[in-house]
Amino acid sequence: MATSAPDEPTIGDIGEFGLIDRVRAEIGDNRHVLLGPGDDAAHVSTKDGSFLVSTDLLVEGRHFRRDWSSAHDIGRKAAACNLSDINAMGGVATALTLGFGAPADLPVSWVLEMTRGFEVECAHVGAHIVGGDVTASDKIVIAVTAMGDVSRPVLRSGALPGDVVAYAGQLGLAGAGFAALSRGFRSPKAAVDAHRVPHPPYAAGPQAAGAGATAMTDISDGLLADLGHIAEASGVAIDLVSSTFVIPEPVATVSEALGVDALTFMLTGGDDYALVATFSSQASLPEGWTAIGAVSDGAGILVDGKTYEGPAGHQHFR
C-alpha cells in the first residue's frame, strides 16, 4: 500500500480541486487544447472543427447502491451526470464511451439492464455509446467519457459584477431523497426517485448559451459549492436571495421529518444536475430559468448578504 512521507500532503489534505490543480500543472498545455481541465468539459480542436469532452466516475457504495437503485436506474444516472457536463458548457452530447469494472459473479442480466438504462437516457439528446472497456473489479465502477458539439462554450470564468444569477432544472429533490434513503425511508417517492435518476434540463444549456450566458455550470455537489467555482474562476462575489426559492413539497416533507431546514437541501443538495448561470442584467432569461441572485465585486458566496454557515455541499476525499 502506498503511503506518504510525514511532510507530504495527502489527497485528503488538499481535496478534489487541489488535486486537479496539481495534476493540471503537471500536464501543461497543448496546441489542440482550447480549454483544458477546470470547467465542466474540455474543448479540443480537430482539423475540421472542435468538440467538447468530459469524464466522470461512478463507484458502487459512493455514488449508488444496488439495494437502493435498479440496474436501469444506475445506467440512466451514469449517463445523465456525463450528458449534464456537456449541457453545462452550452453543448449537446453526441457520443459516449463506457468503461465498466465489476465482480465476476455479477449477473450478465444486470449489466444488460444497466446498458438499456444508459441508452434510454442518451436518447434524450440523441447520443449513443460508441465503445469502451470492461475489466474485473471488487465492486462496480462505471467510467463514462462524453463528447459533444458546441457553438459557443460557456465557461465558469465569465461572470461580471451586475450579472443576474439564475438556475434551470430542479433543486433539493435528490439531496432530500438521499437523506430519506439514508434513514431507511423509501418516500416521498419524488425525492427518492430524483436521487435514483436525475433529470437534467438538457435543453437549458444551449438555450442559455444562445441567450448570452456569461458563465455556467451544472449542480452536482450543491448549489453553493458549484456556484463557488464560478465565483472563484470569475473573481467575483455572488449573493443569493433565499426568498426566491420555491421549496418543492417532497423537500418540505423530508425537511419536517428529519428536522432539517428545507433551504439547506436547496442550497447544498447535489445530484439533481440542474444548471446555474449568470446573465447580463440587460438579457432576457430563457424560458425555464429562475433568477435567484446577483453578481458583485468581491469574493465568495453569500446568502441574503451573509456568509452561509455550514458545509456548502459534497466534498470528495473529506
Q: Is 304 annotated as a binding residue?
A: no
pLDDT tens digits for 113-163? 999 999 999 999 999 999 999 999 999 999 999 999 999 999 999 999 999
Q: Is 105 annotated as a binding residue?
A: no
Q: Is 218 annotated as a binding residue?
A: yes
CA neighbor of 159 nearest in space, from 217, 218, 210, 84 = 217
| List of E strands, 137-173 | 141-149, 164-168
pLDDT tens digits for 224-258? 999 999 999 999 999 999 999 999 999 999 999 99
pTM for the whole structure: 0.89
Q: Is 271 annotated as a binding residue?
A: yes
* pLDDT score of 5 more than 80: no
* pLDDT score of 1 more than 80: no
Among 3.40.50.720, 3.90.1170.50, 3.30.1330.10, 3.60.15.10, name the CATH number for the domain at 40-149.
Answer: 3.30.1330.10
Asked if 219 contacts 274 with a C-beta cutoff of 8 angstroms, the reply is yes
Q: Which residues of 226-265 are buried (b: 16+ CB within 10 A; e: fewer)?
A: bbbbbbebbebbbbbeeeebebbebbebbbeeeeeebbbb
The pLDDT assigned to 2 comes to: 52
Q: Is 39 annotated as a binding residue?
A: no
Q: Is 13 annotated as a binding residue?
A: no
The pLDDT assigned to 6 comes to: 65
The pLDDT assigned to 18 comes to: 80
Give 274-291 as a DSSP string.
EEEEEE-TTSPPPTTEEE
Q: Is 21 annotated as a binding residue?
A: no
Q: Is 157 annotated as a binding residue?
A: no
- The owner of cell 458539439 is 149
Q: Is 55 annotated as a binding residue?
A: yes
Would you say domain 164-307 falls under CATH 3.90.650.10? yes
Q: Taking the domains of the chain in order of start, what are their residue ranges?
A: 40-149, 164-307
